[in-house]
Structure formats: structure tokens, C-alpha cells
Amino acid sequence: MAKKRSSPVTELSQIIPAPATPQPITETIEKNYMPYVMSVIVSRAIPEIDGFKPAHRKLLYTMYKMGLLTGARTKSANIVGQTMKLNPHGDAAIYETMVRLTRGNATLLHPFVDSKGSFGKQYSSDMKYAASRYTEAKLDSICHELFAGIDKDAVDLVDNYDGTMKEPVLLPTTFPNVLVTPNVGIAVGMASNICSFNLGEVCDGAIALLKNPKASTDRILDLIKAPDFSGGGLIVYDRDQMRRIYETGQGSFRIRSRYSYDKAENCIDISQIPYSTTIEAIRDSIAALVKEGKVKEITDFRDEIGINGFRLTLDLRRGTDPDKLMNQLFKLTPLEDSFKCNFNVLINSVPRQLGVVDILKEWITFRIECVRRELRFDLKKKRDRLHLVTGLGKILLDIDKAVRIIRHAESDDQVVPELMRGFGIDQVQADYIANIKLRNLNKKYIVNCIQEMEALKQDIAEIEDILADDLKLRAKVATQLAEIKKKHGQPRRSQLIFASDIPEVEEIQAVENYPVRLVLTKEGYFKKITFQSLRGNDEQKLKEGDSINQIFDAENRDNLLIFTDKAQVYRVAVNDFDTTKASAMGDFLNAKLGMEKDERPIFMHVQNTYPEGENMLFVFENGKGVRIPITAYVAKGNRRKLTGAFSDASAVVGIFYEVEKNPFELMLLTDADRAIVIKSSLIPIMSTRSSKGNTLISLGKKEKRVTEALTDFTQRFGDAKGYRKYKIPAAGVLLNEKNIDTMQLSMDDTL
């Protein structure tokens, strides 16, 4: 018999289900999405008022229950395994949580885990932590402040995920840990980024609010000056900006790296970097700048992290100004970074954005309730003990009667009821008394019982007094904070600098560097000549009647100080001038630098840095001379011209550059053909540029002025033996070619 085929319509109806009832998207979000959102916000990403996320709290409480607050370290793997009883999210996540809390990772100002082994570093993305089977840990001593009162009903305990054990909803932190421990969390639709503050300052701020709940934001700003980071750094401080963060919980501030310049090694050592960046990010950024040719002052850089801590070293080219270079690197690399504050905190499981002042107020409310619950716990314990001791006191009034009752009782079950009837005590008291050993009922025991009763009554009265007075509760919290500051307080690691104190240093341009020869003429013409050009023709073309004043070699990235006869100095870069040929006249400096009409340059010197122990030496027509420290010519910002470079009381006849370690001999010539030779070290150093100096050579009646000051005089005047003087002022000696007696002796020697 043939099988009957089903119709196509019937088959399609079986395959395609009936259309579902339309569901509004708002209802879908409310039923399916919002539970997930709230779970992430409340149970994962946003910290509570105790300063911890659930993962932190579960880990620390597990370690506390393991006895690691006072015991020896144990393997991290053991801790991770035990924590899974409260946190079933996997061992890797738990261990990463613990790593951040360790002393070895250097994330926190006050680490909660005392660690042994490699736990990586917060400031390095390349330094990885070792596996949990290799490292060991225990709770740090500051954790005593986290768990104080947890066994006295200070906070609520709830069942864990499978109902096998209890865990705290919050930790009863005795200090505002929510501001001391940095926290970053990304939830759904919101995030939290809380920076750390100095523990001592936070305690002071909380004490101020405990004493005066209406204390102003400015008062708190005076106590809690600014955030403080474990990695240090320099916070660019703006009080108005910081006030907004303290009031609203939102805002940002800049953090700069801290560095020092090693002159001997010609390198910059960076010892602290912003908390929000890593050494690898800085290193990669600098490498990119060097590769692109934007920064050519760095010849090498290396990471020198070791047992002594963090350090990044930059080797510099000769003549590089380290401050100018760092100014450029601050702008182009994460050596200066911003920290964006977003203080989202859970208050009673509700996310709220609060400023520093409001967070402290919420913590005070939380902490007062913890203390109140501890006191109630202690009060109940003491009342229960007093109740027992009071019943015992009634028995002790007639111990013989109590003994008779116990002895004549027909069974153990009759002892407690008979004691209750015989002394008018309740069952709890009678049961306690029945369990006391007969040997304890001696005179000393009776005396101690009476004393304990009085002490209990006094303690109960004190606790009741504190519980009844909110001011005394606040005073108790303030006392605890003062003790914590004294015990755990540390100096600030992040120092403050003001934006107004940061010098505006001109940015270093990507300037090509190459050797050049510089020429300055008597008439004020300047030439910058490449050595390649000098190979073809090195004969210098000069204006008629002109002559060369100075000629020396330098580099294109060098800076120059050019002194003029009007007691002014100009700061210029060699790169500011175009290269020319020896056969050209060069740049006329009077026009190039915008000098006065009759002003003339008389001395130039390469000056890239301004170290101590180096001086400018000036000799004047009136026979006086002075040394001025080169540090007196440091100028802030982009000033190219300094007036009053030296005294204009008398015309200058010689300008020299001197290094105190290497003094030189100087010959002074007068218009009467007399001369002296002295060491530059004899000339006094004056701190002000306008100093007129001291007399070096005494001018006679026929002498009006000093005409020349020379350092290369031997070829022209021979041995300086007859002219050398060791004290100033000194009288001039007639030049040999003008001295008849000397000339006669020379002729006799020839004959």
C-alpha cells in the first residue's frame, strides 16, 4: 500500500515556529541587561567606602582567617586556593589581585601584603610577576587597622556563594583607606579612578571634620595638600584646580618625572616617573623621537632598574642643556602625564560621585557606626559577665549554704534549681556557679570577684556614656586616627611644584649638528664657515682696515654669548646664522642682533651651560679688573639681550673666560709702555655684574690708561719673568724695548 504524502503547507508549519510575541526593548533591557550592569557595578568594579572592591576584600579576609596577620608567610598558591572558597572567578584573577596589593609590586603607598619573591613592578609592563607556586606572602602589619573590631560585630557578615562560610560585607577600616589606596575600575556605563593620598594628611583631614563637620574645603586643602603616589614624581600644583577635585570628585592634574643631571658623566638620571605611565612607554616614546630626528641631543638611553630602585638614564651630546632637553621631553613624551580623577564610590551599594570632603564625611559616618557596634558588643559582653559575677557574689556571702545545697541534692539535675531557690538567682547564674571548682572558692577568689564586679560596673558606665554622646564617639574615632598617623604615617613621596615656578624654556628644534669655524672681526662682522668650505679656500676676506678679533671652532648647535662695548651681552645660537665662505664678508652683527647704532661686539664665547666655578674676567682702562661668575648671566625664558653685563664706569680693554681650576697669566699694558703679568686667580670675584672691580695696576703720573690686556704675549714680549707680579695692585714695569739699561745689557751679551 502506497504511503500518503504530507502536504507542503503541513511541513512548513512544523518547521517554522509561530511568531513570538513582540517585546519592547525597554523591557528587554530592564529584565536582561540591567541585572548584569548592576552586578558589574556593585560586585566587581567600583570600590566601597572601606576602599576595597569585593575581590580585594575576599582575598584579605581569607588571609586573615588563615592566620597570616601574625603567622609566617605561606605559598601564594595556598592563599589563592583558599580564596576560591569566597571568590570562584579563577586562580589567575585572584593572584593578579594579590600582586597589586604586595609590597614588591610598589603600587600602594601602604602595601597590605608582605611579599617574598618576584611580583613585578607597577611602573613596568615588561617586568612580570612569578607564578604563585614560587612566591610567598602574609598580611602586612597595617592590616591590623583593617580588621580591628571585625570579631566584635563591627560589620555585617553574610554567606558566601555556596553558603558554607561567612564573609564581611565591608572591612571596618580604622582609617579612610578609600583615599589612601588608589583604585581604578571600569564598570558598565561608569568608571572609577581614585588616586592615593598621604595617610598622615588624610588622618589630619578626617580629624578636622570630626571636630568640625562644617570645615571648609580650603581648610581640608590646607591639611590634605594634594594626592601622593607610591612612585613619587612632581605634582604641578594649581589650588583652584585641586579645589574642584576636592569638591566634585572630577578633574585632572599634571605629574612630572623627577630627574637630576650628572655633569661628570654628561647624562640625565630619571629617578621617578608619573604613576599613570610605565618606563616602557617612556622609552618607546623617546626612541621614536630620536629615530625621527626630532631629538638629537640624546646619544643613548637605558633602563637601569636594579636593587636600588628605578632609574632611566639618558646620555647626552656635548654641550646639551639638560633643562631645555627635559622641557622638550616633558611635552613630547609621558615623562609628564595627567591623572584624571573620577571619584565614583559605592555608598550603601549605590554608586555616587563624591569629592574628597564628601568621601571623608561618608567614611566618618561608616566608621562611627562600626565603633558604635563594637561598643555595643563590648557592652553586652560586660553586662553578661557582670550578671554572672553578681550571682556569684550572692553565693560568696554564704558559701557553706551553697555547699550544703549541692551536697544534699539528689542528682546533678537538682543542683541548679536548688541554687536558684536558695539564693534567688536565675538559671544562667546558677549554671555558672555550679560549674565552679570547689578549690576556687577561697579568700583570694572572693576578693578578685568583688574587684572585677566594680571594674565591670565602671566599664559599663563608660561605654554607656560614650554611646549616649555623639561627640564622645567622634572623639574616640579622632583618637584612633591620631594613633594610626603616629604609627603608620610617612613623609610625602610626591612633591609639589607650582606652574609659575616652571621656567618657560625655549623648545629645542631639530637642528642639524656639524663642526664649524667662527670668526669675529674688530668691525663686528661674523662668519660661520663649514670645514668643507675651508678646504677650498681658508683665506679670510675682510673689510679694508678691519682685522680678525677672534677665530675658533664650535658646533652648529652651540650657543654663544656676545659681549659689546656698551656693557651688553647677547645670547644667540650658532644655528641662527647662515653658513658662509671665507671669501665673504659675513653678517654685520650690529644689524643682525639689533644693536645700538654705535655699539660694537668685542668678545664671543660658546656657552651651553652655566656651571659654578667658571667666570667672565673684565679688565678696564682705569687699571681695574673683576671676575664675574658665569652663573650671573643665566636668564629665564627667551631673553636674548642682557643689559649691564659689566660695569660701564670705565671702558673695557679685555674680556676673557676663566675656569677657576685652570687660572691663566694675563699681561696688562699701559699708554706709558709699562706692563705687569699676573695670575687670573689674583683678581677678586664679585657676585654682581655691575661691580667696578679692584685696582690691578697702579697708574703713574705719566700713565692715563691701560691700553691692552693680553693672554698670548710671549711671542710679542718674550719671557714674562721681569713683569710677573704676585700681589695687586702692582706698579708697571717698563717694557724691555723701551728700557735703555735692558737694551744695553742685551747689546753687551751680543758682543
Q: Is 324 exposed, middle or buried (0-12, 13-18, 19+ CB in 10 A)?
A: middle
Assess contact for 269 and 313: CB atoms under 8 A.
yes
273 vs 235: CA distance, rounded Å:
11
3-state DSSP assignment of residue 316: strand
Closest CA relative to residue 182, chosen from 167, 163, 195: 195
Catalytic status, residue 134 = yes
Phi, psi of 718 (to 5 degrees): 75, -155
Q: Which residue is catalytic, options 134, 261, 570, 610?
A: 134
Query: Is the distance from CB of 596 to CB of 628 less than 8 angstroms?
Result: no
Beta bridge partners of 570: 562, 641
Q: Grid cell 682685522 — which residue?
A: 547
Q: Answer positive or negative: Cα dihedral of 609, 610, 614, 618.
A: positive
* 356-396 helix and 199-211 helix, angle to the nearest 10 degrees: 70
**Residues in contact with 189: Cβ distance below 8 Å, sequence separation at least 6, in sequence order:** 37, 41
Residues 6+ apart with CB under 8 A from 206: 175, 176, 360, 363, 364, 477, 478, 481
76-83 and 54-65 helices cross at what angle (nearest 10)?
110
> For residue 257, how many other CB atoms are within 10 A of its CB?
25
Residue bearing cell 637630576: 260
Closest CA to 730 of 703, 692, 690: 703
Beta strands in 402-514, from DSSP E residues, in sequence order: 495-498
HEC readout, 652-698: EEEEEEEECCCCCEEEEEECCCEEEEEEHHHCCECCCCCCCCEECEE
Residue 315: closest CA among 298, 329, 328, 295: 298
Catalytic residues: 134
